[in-house]
Amino acid sequence: MSEQLTIALSKGRIFDETLPLLAVAGIVPAEDPEQSRKLIIATNREQVRLVIVRATDVPTYVQYGAADLGIAGKDVLTEHGGEGLYQPLDLHIARCRMMVAVRQGFDYQAASQPGRRLRVATKYPDIAAAHFAAKGVHVDIIKLYGSMELAPLVGLSDAIVDLVSTGGTLKANRLEAVEHIADISSRLVVNKAALKTKYALLEPVIQAFARAVASDTPTHDKETDNEHSAD
């Protein structure tokens, strides 16, 4: 059997925004993961297959070599730590911002003074802890898996750390962003060992992605926000 290349992708915006990049590399999925229930999807190229995993699981599949490469948000990569991963390219897709948000009218300045403790709900405990530690603000972090926007509305927390693109979800829930933590976009991640052992297969794909990004850089305003962005 000839060597296989396995690419880990998540459904939704990352898959959708990756399709044009794959096309530049001459890779076309045989099925749409939104329609199919298959978790392994063949492509037009016999040697290349896609595996469909949760966005937060992409770095793990690539780290352990179950996938040779993958695409993951900087948010997910920072929280994962990036161990065992080579990160050659910022793909400039799935762009958004990591922000601190509170209920409209909440006195964030007062609540984050020395001597106070701020309760922060988030899906990103490491990013949140590092941010507040750098500011010298004492926080209690509450780990959530989705719908962070609800937490300040029902008194679970004072603030949330979450991804924001248009701000529509915050506004719909009477929240406001009060601090910018980081700009987020998705990155190509490659298994460090595969980069050596499968170089001949991987290198043209990485090069094609680099070309696609270079020829299509000003795509910032394709940001989307919808009711699913909180989950």
Q: Which residues here bind ligand ATP, judged by CB under 6 A?
A: 10, 12-14, 54-56, 73, 75-76, 94-96, 146, 163, 165, 184, 186, 223-225, 228-229, 231
Contact between 227 and Mg ion by CB under 5 A: the answer reads no
Which listed option, Mg ion, ligand ATP, none, makes contact with residue 18 (CB within 5 to 8 Å by class)? none
Q: How far is the CB of 103 from ligand ATP (least distance, A)?
A: 20
Which CB sits closer to Mg ion, 83 or 231? 231
For tokens 């990569």, what's the residue? 77
Return the number of other C-beta atoms located less than 10 Å from residue 44's C-beta: 11
- CA nearest to 100, candidates 184, 176, 185: 176
Alpha-carbon gap, residue 183 to 83, rounded angstroms: 21
Q: How far is the CB of 70 from Mg ion (least distance, A)?
A: 17
- Neighbouring-strand partners of residue 100: 161, 179
Alpha-carbon gap, residue 166 to 164, rounded angstroms: 6
Residue 126 CA: distances (Å) to CA of 3, 76, 80: 37, 11, 9
Instruction: Give yes or no for a contact between 57 and 49, defined as CB atoms under 8 angstroms apart.
Output: no
Contact between 221 and Mg ion by CB under 5 A: the answer reads no
Instruction: Give yes or no for a contact between 76 and 58, defined as CB atoms under 8 angstroms apart.
Output: yes
The stretch near Mg ion (CB under 5 A) out of 74-82, 91-99, 199-207, 223-231 is 223-231
Q: Is 82 left (phi over 0), alpha (psi -120 to 50) or beta?
A: left
Which CB sits closer to Mg ion, 146 or 204? 146
- Neighbouring-strand partners of residue 191: 85
Q: How far is the CB of 23 from Mg ion (least distance, A)?
A: 25
Which CB sits closer to ligand ATP, 14 or 22? 14
Q: How far is the CB of 51 from ligand ATP (least distance, A)?
A: 15
Contact between 231 and Mg ion by CB under 5 A: the answer reads yes
Residue nearest to Mg ion (CB): 231
Which listed option, Mg ion, ligand ATP, none, makes contact with residue 14 (CB within 5 to 8 Å by class)? ligand ATP
What is the contact surface with Mg ion in residues (CB under 5 A)?
Answer: 231
